[in-house]
Chains A and B, each alone.
Chain A
């Protein structure tokens, strides 16, 4: 069965493969990875220093791969609703539900963050009900501007490494760290290339495809992903480019890994050519300084100096300018600010950003939505009306 799915996957071109990579434990490469005795660690927030996990040398030459925990494919949230009540966002409930359904049993460990109120408080349920072999917390300060905060985060990174290391391996050697750092920098550069191809006058791929590639990136060992993406990029460049779109839009707001939202938007003829999401452009923003003598610190620095998530209680101006910059790069006709119902952070952040963006003369649409793509008809009506409003 495994090898079969593997064969099927192997026949496809690298691009097709990235676009159709099966989810979670059905992912043939994860099956392959685990079969070799390697470990997989899940994490929930973009403030998790992934490369540090990737650098940890496992016992007997095994490896440890970080994957980002998402909620794609979640069809019900019964148990999660019972545990968490209706005021918790559907993304948090979906991920927890998947975990309770055993969808994340392939994970050997989970790294949590003090990211947002909803997600951080599902830690207890993972710890007590899902019970991964390792579950650890990275306490991330809510400001990046002071050395004290940075040192705290830096220590948190080291502690996380040690906690995982002491169970399955050792602490990484300098060259192991350097390799991991290089791999992740390469990954970010390649993803930026994808964004460049999306921003072209004739974009080489749809937003939906871009999200699928991003999704694949969350769920493959980055070395392998980089390899495939390099080839996939050649395939993309060879494409004629999309011309029959109705409008170019940028997607901003709450956590979005499920392509179905983008599908809904693009089903109106709009093309999502860029985004300012923590699952997208923000995720690959900024590189680690490879020349640093203390690479762990350099990694921590990167996470503290990349464009912030509004859970950081500062820099709305920077985030607004970031969105303006992206909008210019990708020559967008409008920006869609979406937030998942009950997401306090992006509800208010979208008000701040969209008002400023509107003042700058870029058309904006604010959408409230559930994580799981229900109610698509009404979302679609809103988006279509938005396009009509901006004369597209």
Chain B
């Protein structure tokens, strides 16, 4: 029995196929402007990888900001729940998930079954989101994934005080012009991002174990800065942190299918 989860975010879309034994396949793409389009492409890709056919999928749950518009999903769940569910599924000790997405940044607290205990979401400002790092990477003329390693080599972080992402980009250009090393700038950026995360984290509090999901989790610089800022260790996940949301959706698909199945039984008896 195969279940699917698809997560359409503002920067990337992910799909995960799942059966009782575990993850069959997953795919990550850069979003197409239209969520339905993104969902379809990422789903086709994961099907192609695994050789599974769409009609073989018993149940599909969608999540992310495009979640309500996905034609082939029978049900949708908020990305907040999905990240919680997914993280605990891969590491049952996880109780707090810090999800840094393209536009949203969420701190999610869950119980042992991955069900929500509490959560908080950033206000409507790009500061402290994936976009923020993307902008910096662009300024450096490199891919966002390279920033992390760069920051790890930083020694004297640059002091960044502008609040607005757009201005931070400009500050970064100035630091470059003033002869700061990319490493130190990347470190400064990681630190300021971590600082912004902490103010959010403070609102719900932390319970260990802690993990970071979403694309930014791959940025070791940010993760280390975050660990220093909260004074706690962050668990690295055994799966690609970017698929946690889609994975959670797939798990919900599995659970939901069972519940519906039982309801049917009850109905038929």
Contact = CB atoms under 8 A, between A and B. Distances in A.
Given A377-B65, A378-B104, A388 B81 contact: yes
Contact of A388 (B78, B121, B123): B78
A34 to B, nearest CB: 41
B115 A391 contact: yes
A378 B10 CA distance: 13
A368 interface: yes
B198 interface: no
Interface residues of B, number: 15
A368 B115 CA distance: 24
Contacts of B119: 385, 389
A294 to B, nearest CB: 50
Contacts of B118: 389
A381 interface: yes
B230 interface: no
Contacts of B78: 381, 384-385, 388
Interface in B113-136: 115-119, 121, 123-124
A196 interface: no
Interface in B23-40: none
Contact-size category for A = 10 to 19
A120 interface: no
Contacts of A377: 65
A72 to B, nearest CB: 22
B79 interface: yes
Given A368-B123, A375-B124, A381 B115 contact: no
Contact of B116 (A368, A378, A381, A389): A389
Contacts of A378: 104, 121, 124
Nearest to A384: B78
Interface in A373-392: 375, 377-378, 381-382, 384-385, 388-389, 391
A388 B256 CA distance: 13
A259 B256 CA distance: 32
Interface string B56-89: 0000000001000000000001111100000000
Given A389-B115, A389-B116, A389-B117, A381 B123 contact: no
A382 B123 CA distance: 12
Contacts of A385: 78, 80-81, 116, 119
Contacts, number: 33
B117 A381 contact: no
Nearest to A377: B65
Residue among B78, B115, B118, B123 having the largest count of chain A Cβ atoms under 10 Å = B78
Given A388-B116, A389-B115, A389-B119, A381 B80 contact: yes
Given A389-B115, A389-B117, A391-B115, A381 B79 contact: yes
A381 B121 contact: yes
Nearest to A267: B68
Residue among A378, A389, A391 having the largest count of chain B Cβ atoms under 10 Å = A389
A388 B104 contact: no
A381 B121 CA distance: 10
A351 to B, nearest CB: 11
A388 B80 contact: yes
Contacts of A368: 123
A385 B252 CA distance: 14
Interface in A349-386: 368, 375, 377-378, 381-382, 384-385
Contacts of B116: 385, 388-389
Contacts of A391: 115
A388 B82 CA distance: 10
Contacts of B117: 389
A382 B121 contact: yes
A389 B118 CA distance: 8
A381 B83 CA distance: 13
Contacts of B81: 385, 388-389
Contacts of B124: 375, 378
Nearest to A370: B124
Contacts of B104: 378, 381
Nearest to A268: B78
A357 to B, nearest CB: 14
A389 B82 CA distance: 11
Contacts of B121: 378, 381-382
Residue among A375, A384, A388, A391 having the largest count of chain B Cβ atoms under 10 Å = A388
A306 B78 CA distance: 39
Residue among B79, B80, B104 having the largest count of chain A Cβ atoms under 10 Å = B80
Contacts of A375: 124
Nearest to A341: B123
A328 B13 CA distance: 43
A368 B65 CA distance: 19
Residue among A368, A375, A381, A391 having the largest count of chain B Cβ atoms under 10 Å = A381
Given A388-B77, A389-B81, 6 more contacts: A381-B121, A384-B78, A385-B80, A388-B78, A388-B80, A388-B116
Interface of B: 65, 77-81, 104, 115-119, 121, 123-124
9 contacts: A381-B80, A384-B77, A384-B78, A385-B81, A388-B80, A388-B81, A389-B116, A389-B117, A391-B115
Q: Which 3 A-B pairs have the closest CB atoms?
A: A389-B116, A385-B80, A385-B78
